[in-house]
Structure 1
Amino acid sequence: MAVNNELFKGTLQTIILNLLSENERMYGYEITQKVKAITKGELLLKEGALYPALHKLEADGLLDTATEVVGNRVRKYYSLSKSGEKEVVNKLQEAKDFIAHLQVLLNLKSSF
């Protein structure tokens, strides 16, 4: 099943915030692999979409970053800031409400 990338992009910030709330801190490639694993390869998060979303969340004050040297590579880790911890709750509720409305509008049976 092909996934509509526009739908995916609209929820990308919520997905990132939720992953960070569950995993404390992650680096970019790790986030892409986690999305792939959770969705059994159905959703592939490309770097071209991930990094602009991470940078926007960071600019909005929702993420903290830390840089570490791992082996001979510099790795940038992302974690939720205090504001990010509050925002993830709001974003998840917005997503749940939106899904509920879509189910009603499109006559979809609830699988949640």
Structure 2
Amino acid sequence: MSNSNLFKGSLSTIVLKLLKEEGRMYGYEITQKVKDATKGKFKITEGALYPTLHKLEADGILEVEVEKVDNRLRKYYRLTEKGTTETAKKISELEEYIKTLQEVIFLKPKIG
């Protein structure tokens, strides 16, 4: 399931939701949090995560803080004010999509 198109289409919403809850995170931390939370069902690759983070940053949804940790520079991502608004919007859209999808999947056949 880790490479499914459904998951890829939800990646930015997942990242935004995590950042809303955690405040700030670095890339590897995001991948591990998703892996742990889904008991390994969803695995975010660097090839999927970093382009998503860079696009969200370019769109003004995320800001980056660079810190030196163990003699290495680490980029921490956090939501901007615009990002907070966008996160609420994306979560609402995803919830509505899931609700509609469930209605279609569990559609009961008409009798008569």
Please indicate the TM-score interval, normalised by the length of the shorter structure.
Answer: over 0.9
Change (3 A) 1:50 1:4: closer
* Superposition deviation, residue 55 in structure 1: 0.4
* Equivalent position of 1:66 in the other structure: 65
State the identity as a percent: 55
The root-mean-square deviation of aligned C-alpha atoms, in Å, is 1.1
State the TM-score, normalized to the length of structure 1: 0.92
* Equivalent position of 1:25 in the other structure: 24
Alignment of 1:1-112 (within 5 A): 2-3=1-2, 5-107=4-106
Tell me which amino acid in the other structure corresponds to 1:46: T
* Superposition deviation, residue 5 in structure 1: 1.8
State the TM-score, normalized to the length of structure 2: 0.92
CA distance in 2, matches of 1:4, 1:99: 19
- Unaligned runs of 5+ residues in structure 2 are 108-112
| Structure 2 contact 63–79 (Cα < 8 Å) conserved | yes
State the 4+ residue runs in structure 1 displaced beyond 4 angstroms: none
